[in-house]
Amino acid sequence: MRNIPRRKFIQLSSASGAFLIVGCIPSAEGKEKLISKVTSNLPSIDLNQFISIGKDGSIILFNHRPEMGQGTYQSIPMILAEELEVDIDLVEIRQSQASRELYGSQMVVGSRSIQTQFEQLRIMGASAREILRQAAANKWETDLNDCRASNGRVVSNDGQVFTYGELIEDASKLEVPQKPPLKNPDQFKVIGKPFHRRDIPLKTNGEAQFGIDISVPGMLYASVERSPVFLGKIKSFDESEALKVQGVKQVISTSRTVYGRTRFGVAVLAESYWAAVQGRNVLLIEWDNQSLEEVSDLTIEKESLEASNSNGNELFGRGNTDKILDDSKEVIEASYQTPYQAHVPMEPMNAIVSVKENSAEFWGSTQNPNGIRSFIARKYEISENDIKINYTFMGGGFGRRSMTDVVEEAADLSKKSRVPVKVIWSREDDLTQGPFRACSLNVCRAVINDEGKVHALEHKIVAQEIRNQTGENMKAGRQLMGGINTNYTIPHLSVKGVLRKRHIPVSYWRAVYHSTNPFAHESFIDELAHRVKKDPIAFRLEMLDQPRYRRVLEEVAVRANWQASRTDNIGKGVAIAERSGAYFAMVVEVRKLKGRIVISRITTALDLGICINPDTVKAQTEGSIVMGLGAVYSGLTIKNGAVNEQNFNTYPMLKMDQCPEIETYIIKSNAPPDGAGESGLPTVAPALANAIFDLTGKRIRKLPIDMNGIM
Amino acid sequence: MARIKLVVNGQKRELDLDPTMPLLWVLRDYLGLTGTKYACGIAQCGACTVHVEGVPIRSCVFPVSAVQGKEITTIEGLSKNNDHPIQIAWIEEQVPQCGYCQSGQIMTAASLLKRNSSPTEEEIDNVMSSVLCRCGTYPRIKIAIQKVSGE
């Protein structure tokens, strides 16, 4: 029960009656203990913070992780239902309240929702099941072993039946078993089956509510003009024209904090969003750009190349890589570059906040509901108990909605205007303000021995680091080496980081550094394979004894028909990577078509341990690949200290006609589950670049790729 | 400000509005029909697609004055019980992830099938490539449309 606190909790009381308390209290031995106690005659009783059972047999299961498309709305209740022994299609699923006390972390980042709480969620389901069985055993005056839980009922050996509803009152008076027996994975009936997601019907008729869809009484809409050059300060502004726009109420300067740096803006508050935008369009602001206008892609590239001559600091090392590279006559070297990327959730960033003297309330879509509560509490010195968090479905997040900067703007404007304020970012705000996936320069060097094997390899990453964006400390942290495969049995391996600091803000973007480093690493491994004239999959397998890596690589080779002889018109490329514990292999197949290169098929194999909902894992894999391909075909450029692209017309997303056929094969496993939300993304760029090399002999070392310009 | 008369999902509405306001913001902020989404504001992504007299338009750039008296259908008015063949196929194929763009996808797909009940894959690509999805639901959208058109 690592992340779900064992503390007393009180769940969903109605104003009119008493309620059931089930939860955890410290015991005499100082350990925390699961308890239950009835104080209620309400028709529905909450067995714990995840499970509520009505006397009529109705069952509610709560998902406590905000839903941004990743599917935990379905897969968390599936885990509960498995151990509780109920039909997942017949229960009601609800989103839980935001409460660190009841649920521990509810943050949805790093594909961790299932990975970190699988065991605890099973215990929640199993402990409820056990007291229901015990209640039946007591009623029948029989042994617990004679009572079987199945399909929302307890059945005795001699065929007697109680529904859970009939048992709930008795059950809730029993002591909750601290270590309930958990099912053997071979007995799973819900986990591992492709159940339909219950949030999906809501998302086909406009019913699903996102943050941007909420309005609260008395609120004003705000649109904020911010300096296009990051860190620009307001010299002066003239609001007179804006105030003439019908519906505009106030013009207020505001600020927000992005990784330790203050970013300024001028907000137009109005009765409608449209009026706020009209007012913003006629604001006159003079910016002090802090002499940052000279920064561009060219200066960043030059500065990165210079920095790559430095050794930075070693993030991972084995053997004696530096000496071998120094002493070798032939060192193979290649450099790879990736651009900045924006998150671009389809729902633009937004937040509604109402800040009062001693209380506050938030409405919106967030990956981090409890973080927002703490942020507002700290900033305005309000007790966390007096801050209400109302979170909705998210229209995508991809890391961007883990931050509190937009909430800060809305809170600041609410505090200053004394009304609830709804801030909506335009798409242009989203693209030009960031923060962004960091751009990178990766320099790889290797020595191959006489047997054609990699003897030493150095991978140097030159990039900004999310956790260290300001100040004097220039030591690169291990975060920077995400996605570098240290499982290759290369005897001498050194991963180095050369930290860069710039005024351009960077942040967590789906798969984070796993979205850039593997492009270099797996392209370089491919270059080495071709150098020694070995098959790229065979070459990798020679260097791998990690069984899960071997398994996915062997699987994808079969599924993609890797060994089939290639015609002149077909190229295939492979790449492997691990993200959030999931092992992933991908083969991309490309073809020549009317003078261009197109992807004809993508085949993937992944091992993420126990798979809760295979259809959701497939959907996440397809989604990760589409996002990864988008980041292969387009990138942000920096000009005059600012982002050049403004909207989808200049920063194109992947479209349907660019989306290849995707086949996903999930390896069967009883290992604990790992993350599914990002694991398909890291291999996209290298597998595609390797396929293009296979087809054309041209090596792509810089993203984005112009697929029309290769041949 | 002007007196604007609208017919939305079969209901007559009258409002005092800035006539240049895009239909999108009228639907969302004045009529409470939030199923139609804002995502780019420049008719590039299709999230705001609604039907005007049965024809799909990008409501984020369509001034409300231009649709006066015309029949407007939003996602909320596509079917009574979430049972339009496209909606059924969307659920069957488990298309949405975050779901934000899906109103636009569904309204675009519904009008495609109304014009052409059995589009080729190329025709589906041509029409549906105008609607963006950041979650990457394209493979399933295509299968769902093919499923409906095959019936």
A255-285 confidence digits (pLDDT tens): 999 999 999 999 999 999 999 999 999 999 9
Q: Do B98 and A212 touch (CB under 8 A)?
A: no
* A205, A212, A619 member nearest B97 (Cβ): A619
Q: Can you give the pLDDT at residue A100? A: 87
Share of chain B above pLDDT 70, in %: 99
Chain A residues with beta carbon closer than 8 angstroms to that of B90: 200, 204
Q: Which of B83, B98, B112, B120 to mutate to test the interface with A (most CBs of A within 10 A)?
A: B98
pLDDT band at A44 (very low <50, low <70, confident <90, very high): low
Do B50 and B97 have their domain in common?
A: no
Q: Decide if pLDDT at B109 tops 70.
A: yes
Do B89 and B146 have their domain in common?
A: yes
Q: Can you give the pLDDT at residue B29? A: 96
Do A449 and A318 have their domain in common?
A: yes
Do B72 and B95 have their domain in common?
A: no
Domain boundary among A386, A403, A424: A424
What is the number of structural domains in chain B?
2
Do A528 and A585 have their domain in common?
A: yes
Do B69 and B108 have their domain in common?
A: no
Range with the lowest mean pLDDT among A99-103, A135-139, A363-367?
A: A99-103
Do B30 and B73 have their domain in common?
A: yes
Report helix angle B121-128 to B102-115, nearest 10.
Answer: 140
Do A29 and A81 have their domain in common?
A: yes
Q: Can you give the pLDDT at residue A57? A: 86
Q: Are the beta carbons of A562 and A572 closer than 8 angstroms?
A: yes
Do A56 and A149 have their domain in common?
A: yes
Q: Decide if pLDDT at A566 tops 90.
A: no
Q: Rounded to whole angstroms, how far apart are CA atoms A565 and A588?
A: 15
Q: Rounded to whole angstroms, how far apart are CA atoms A369 and A407?
A: 11
What rounded mean pLDDT belongs to chain A?
A: 93
Do A676 and A580 have their domain in common?
A: yes
Q: Of all helices (H) and strands (E), which one includes residue A251?
A: strand A248-258
Q: Do B129 and A657 touch (CB under 8 A)?
A: yes
Q: Residue A203 falls within a domain, yes or no?
A: no
Do B89 and B72 have their domain in common?
A: no
Q: Which of A527, A565, A660 is nearest to A604 (CA)?
A: A660
Q: Residue A595 falls within a domain, yes or no?
A: yes
Q: Can you give the pLDDT at residue A620? A: 98
Q: What DSSP designation does A235 have?
A: E
Q: Can you give the pLDDT at residue A45? A: 66
Q: Decide if pLDDT at A37 tops 50.
A: no
Q: Can you give the pLDDT at residue A103? A: 86
Chain B residues with beta carbon closer than 8 angstroms to that of A344: 134
Q: Rounded to whole angstroms, how far apart are CA atoms A106 and A83?
A: 21
The minimum CA-CA distance between A196 and chain B, rounded to whole Å, is 7
3-class state of residue B142 by DSSP: helix
Residue B125, chain A, CB below 8 Å: the answer is yes
Q: Do A657 and B125 touch (CB under 8 A)?
A: yes
Q: Which of B132, B122, A658, A171 is nearest to B145 (CA)?
A: B122
Q: Rounded to whole angstroms, how far apart are CA atoms A622 and A662?
A: 7
CATH number, domain containing residue A312: 3.30.365.10
Share of chain B above pLDDT 90, in %: 98
CATH number, domain containing residue B110: 1.10.150.120
pLDDT tens for A63-98 read: 999 999 999 999 999 999 999 999 999 999 999 999
Q: Rounded to whole angstroms, how far apart are CA atoms A257 and A546?
A: 43
* CB neighbour class for A16 (10 Å; exposed up to 12, middle 13-18, buried from 19): exposed
Q: Rounded to whole angstroms, how far apart are CA atoms A446 and A65?
A: 44
Do A255 and A329 have their domain in common?
A: no
Across the range A34-42, mean pLDDT stands at: 43
Q: Decide if pLDDT at A6 tops 70.
A: no
For residue B121, give its domain range: 85-150
Domain boundary among B12, B46, B77: B77
Report helix angle A369-380 to A405-417, nearest 10.
Answer: 40
Q: Residue A205 falls within a domain, yes or no?
A: no
Which phi and psi angles does A664 have, rounded to 5°? -120, 130
Across the range A315-338, mean pLDDT stands at: 98
* A71, A200, A622 member nearest B91 (Cβ): A200
Q: Can you give the pLDDT at residue A176? A: 86
Share of chain A above pLDDT 70, in %: 93
B 54-73 near A (Cβ less than 8 A): none
Domain boundary among A397, A424, A451: A424
3-class state of residue A527 by DSSP: helix
Do B44 and B23 have their domain in common?
A: yes
Q: Can you give the pLDDT at residue A42? A: 43
The CA radius of gyration of chain A, in Å to the nearest whole number, is: 28
Residue B9, chain A, CB below 8 Å: the answer is no
Q: Residue A227 falls within a domain, yes or no?
A: yes
Q: Decide if pLDDT at A210 tops 50.
A: yes
Do A595 and A681 have their domain in common?
A: yes
Buried b (16+ CB within 10 A) or exposed e, A61-72: bbbbbbbbbbbb
Q: Can you give the pLDDT at residue A101? A: 84
pLDDT band at A711 (very low <50, low <70, confident <90, very high): confident
Q: Residue A704 falls within a domain, yes or no?
A: no
* Number of other CB atoms surrounding residue B143 within 10 Å: 13
Do B35 and B100 have their domain in common?
A: no
Q: Decide if pLDDT at A215 tops 90.
A: yes
Across the range A197-211, mean pLDDT stands at: 97
Q: Are the beta carbons of A343 and A398 closer than 8 angstroms?
A: yes
CA neighbours within 13 Å on the CB side: how many for A368?
Answer: 19
Across the range A492-508, mean pLDDT stands at: 98
CA neighbours within 13 Å on the CB side: how many for A295?
Answer: 20
Q: Read off the tokens for B88.
A: 């059924």
Do B63 and B47 have their domain in common?
A: yes
Q: Can you give the pLDDT at residue A225? A: 98
A269: left (phi over 0), alpha (psi -120 to 50) or beta: beta
Q: Residue A124 falls within a domain, yes or no?
A: yes
Range with the lowest mean pLDDT among A3-12, A111-120, A636-645, B29-38?
A: A3-12
Q: Rounded to whole angstroms, how far apart are CA atoms A311 and A497?
A: 8
Across the range A500-507, mean pLDDT stands at: 97
Long-range interactions of A113-116: CB distance < 8 A, separation 24+: A113/A65, A113/A70, A113/A72, A113/A76, A114/A72, A114/A75, A114/A76, A114/A79, A114/A612, A114/A673, A114/A675, A114/A676, A115/A580, A115/A581, A115/A672, A115/A673, A115/A674, A115/A675, A116/A2, A116/A3
Do A334 and A408 have their domain in common?
A: no
Domain boundary among B51, B77, B103: B77
Q: Can you give the pLDDT at residue A23? A: 44
At a CB cut-off of 8 Å and minimum separation 6, what does A538 contact? none
Domain boundary among B38, B61, B77: B77
* Number of other CB atoms surrounding residue A108 within 10 Å: 24
Q: Decide if pLDDT at A5 tops 70.
A: no
Do A84 and A132 have their domain in common?
A: yes
At a CB cut-off of 8 Å and minimum separation 6, what does A193 contact? A613, A614
pLDDT band at A26 (very low <50, low <70, confident <90, very high): very low
Q: Can you give the pLDDT at residue A223? A: 98
Q: What DSSP designation does A135 have?
A: H
Across the range A177-197, mean pLDDT stands at: 95
What is the number of structural domains in chain A?
3
Q: Rounded to whole angstroms, how far apart are CA atoms A71 and A394?
A: 12
B 72-101 near A (Cβ less than 8 A): 74-76, 78-79, 82, 87, 90-91, 94-101
In this complex, how many residue pairs, one in chain A and one in chain B, have their CB atoms less than 8 Å apart?
180
Q: What DSSP designation does B27 have?
A: I
Which phi and psi angles does A401 have, rounded to 5°? -85, 10
What stretches of A219-332 show up as alpha helix (H) in DSSP? 240-244, 273-281, 297-307, 321-327
* A221, A619, A653 member nearest B132 (Cβ): A653
Do A114 and A232 have their domain in common?
A: no
Domain boundary among A424, A456, A483: A424
Q: Are the beta carbons of A95 and A108 closer than 8 angstroms?
A: no
What stretches of A329-486 show up as alpha helix (H) in DSSP? 369-380, 405-417, 427-433
Do B108 and B146 have their domain in common?
A: yes
Do A179 and A215 have their domain in common?
A: no
Chain B residues with beta carbon closer than 8 angstroms to that of A394: 98
Do A461 and A382 have their domain in common?
A: no
CATH number, domain containing residue B72: 3.10.20.30
At a CB cut-off of 8 Å and minimum separation 6, what does A676 contact? A70, A111, A114, A580, A582, A608, A611, A616, A617, A620, A621
Q: Parallel, antiparallel, or unpaired for β A570-579 and B71-73?
A: unpaired
The minimum CA-CA distance between A319 and chain B, rounded to whole Å, is 42
Across the range A502-507, mean pLDDT stands at: 97
For residue A469, give its domain range: 297-340+437-696
Q: Decide if pLDDT at B77 tops 50.
A: yes
Do B58 and B104 have their domain in common?
A: no
Q: Decide if pLDDT at B43 tops 50.
A: yes
pLDDT tens for A639-654 read: 999 999 999 999 999 9
Q: Can you give the pLDDT at residue A483? A: 97
